[in-house]
Amino acid sequence: MIKINFEWDHRVEKRLFIFLKKIAFSIFNNKKINVNYSNLLKAFINYSVNFEKEYKSKKNIDIEKHLELAKKQIKEIKEWQNNLNNYVENNKQKSNLKDILKNNAKFRARNMLGNYYKDFLKEIIAGESEYFEWNTMGDERVRPTHEARDGKIYKWDNAEIVPGEEPGCRCWATVYFPDSQEEINDINQNSWELKYYKSFMSYLMSNLKKFIEYQYSKSFMS
């Protein structure tokens, strides 16, 4: 069985952020900018093609599929740029406008890369594999609903959402390519065991916390 980690690439996110910030600051300074969308198009395509090269040869990769997904994101960036022009024009009086634009560029970079990642999983990977494992970044910024999914295994056709789908999501997928029904059964069994292990540990920690609080209050009152 092939098992591949399609981990979130912070380098691509940073590159996209720098690109969007440059556009935003040019608008802020009322300067014309020649935007090279072709380089950004290549960056998106390379991002997803490199994932697919993990389990198939380059000659078997349909580049056109990746190109269509990348074009969708370029279109969104152009729309964002037009909206930004209007926003700056109507908010010139704000003293913190530059900071607002920088933060917006940072959020947009993560969101657009997440959208591209999500589309790649749904449009390409889901048609070639059956299962994926949800992974989070494991830090305090992970939203509770995604933390609850961490380590769980889902089938593509019944997953409510996939990593990268919700705004600002930094989660990523481990994709499974099982070769036999036996391996599929193992995946399902591991998913079931992990689910109940995490549920048990959550119950244990919750009761341990209550016990410690009780002992503390008891000693304080005595």
What average pLDDT score do residues 65-87 get? Answer: 94
Q: Is residue 157 situated within a structural domain?
A: yes
What strand order describes the sheet that includes 2-6? 2-6, 172-177, 131-135, 153-155
- Write down the pLDDT at residue 33: 79
Residue 186 belongs to a domain: no
> Among 52-56, 98-102, 134-138, 209-213, whose mean pLDDT is lowest?
209-213
Is residue 148 included in any domain, yes or no? yes
The answer to the question of residue 218 being in a domain is no
pLDDT of residue 84: 93
Q: Where in the sequence is the domain holding 26, given as residue range(s)? A: 2-177
3-state secondary structure of 141: coil
Is the model's pLDDT at 112 over the cut of 80?
A: yes
User: Tokens in use for 116?
Assistant: 């591209």
**pLDDT at 196 (0 to 100):** 53
> Residue 72 and residue 69: Cα distance in Å, rounded?
5
Whole-angstrom distance, CA of residue 3 vs CA of residue 133: 10
Contacts within 8 Å (CB) and 24+ apart, 33-39:
35/81, 37/74, 37/77, 37/78
Residue 210 lies in a domain: no
* Amino acid 143: pLDDT: 92
Band of pLDDT at residue 220, cut at 50, 70 and 90 = very low
Q: Residue 186 corresponds to which amino acid?
A: D
| Number of independent structural domains in the chain | 1
Residue 154, domain member (yes or no): yes
Per the prediction, the chain carries an average pLDDT of 85
> What token pair was written down for 90?
């109507």
Contact 187, 176 (CB under 8 A): yes
Q: Per the domain annotation, does 199 fall within a domain?
A: no
HSE (side-chain half, CA atoms, 13 Å) at 209: 6
The alpha carbon of 141 is separated from its chain's Cα centroid by a whole number of angstroms, namely 13
Question: Which of 29-33, 84-88, 198-202 has the least mean pLDDT?
Answer: 198-202
Q: How many CB atoms lie within 10 A of CB 85?
A: 12
Please report whether residue 191 resides in a domain. Answer: no
**Angle (CA) 128 129 130, round 5°:** 135
